[in-house]
Structures are given as C-alpha cells and as structure tokens.
Amino acid sequence: MDYIKIRFGDEFDRIGSSLERTLQDIFRPRPVNPMFACKDCGWIPQMDIFETEKEVFIWAELAGVAKEDLEVEVNNKAVRIHGVRRELPKPTDGAYRLAEIRYGRFERVLYLPSQVDTEVVSSSYANGFLTIRMVKLDVHQTHKVHISDG
C-alpha cells in the first residue's frame, strides 16, 4: 500500500520540518562519547575501523574535502582526523529549496582497538575516502635484558 503525505498550510509545514530536523539530528551518527565532540564542528564524517591480526585500518567518508584541508594525527592508542569542507560556489540569484550537505570544520578522535606502531602508518585519499593503514605493535614480544655486574 502506498502512503501519501498531506500537508495542511504553512504553520504545519514549519512544525513538520522542525520535527523532521530534530528526528534527523537524534538518529544522525555521532561520536561514541559526546565528551570528545568538537563544539565548533559543522558536521561529523562517518568512519569504519577494521582490524586484522597484524593491522588496523580506518576508512573515512570525506566527500568534498580537499586533501589540503585534511589533517591526520596518530599516536599508539588513537587517531585524530580533522579538517574543513568548504561550501561550493553558488549563483547569487537563487535560493535553497533543499540543504542537507553540511559544511565547515570537522573532527573525529577514534580510539584504536590495539596499540599501533606510529612509525609504520600509511594513508591515501581517493574518491572522497581517506584510508589509513597502521601496523599493530607486538605487545607480547619479549626482550632479553642483559644483567650487568655490581
């Protein structure tokens, strides 16, 4: 059965669109802990973390972000990805009829499932996706310690 959406006047349109935005904000993906959310950020990119026995991968969906406007910082426990998506140029003689794309600053701090070697990290950016590849530290590796006299 098909449903038809019926609108009744301007007042209901304003209430309906406000309610729609509120519901979209509630169900939009957010960082796991809001304590680490960036208060000045205009949007939050979606990301995946994938782990193998020896590596950790991160994929970030960053459509419209120029490589020059993107920064990645890595320590052995977390990755910080931040930057800016700039607005596209628009004709001056028009008006928005739909505006869903978010622009501005963004920041994500992702805590890694395993410690990684910060000296062995590679990244690439193509088709709006940032890929970060990190090698895990071998925390179970043991080292012999020489015992000196006296």
Give per-residue pLDDT as tens, 96-144: 889 889 999 999 999 999 999 999 999 999 999 999 999 999 877 777 7
Instruction: Find the domain containing 109 and state its range.
Output: 31-87+103-140
Indicate yes or no: pTM above 0.85: no
- The total of structural domains in the chain comes to 1
Residue 45 lies inside a defined structural domain of this protein: yes
Count CB-CB contacts under 10 A for residue 85: 21
User: Whole-number mean pLDDT of the chain?
Assistant: 81
Q: How is residue 110 annotated by DSSP?
A: E
Cα separation, 44 vs 127, in Å, equals 18
pLDDT of residue 12: 45
Cα separation, 42 vs 87, in Å, equals 11
- Residue pointed to by tokens 């939009």: 28
Residue 94 lies inside a defined structural domain of this protein: no
pLDDT of residue 60: 97
Confidence band of 28 (pLDDT split at 50, 70, 90) = low
Cα separation, 124 vs 59, in Å, equals 10
Residue 112 lies inside a defined structural domain of this protein: yes
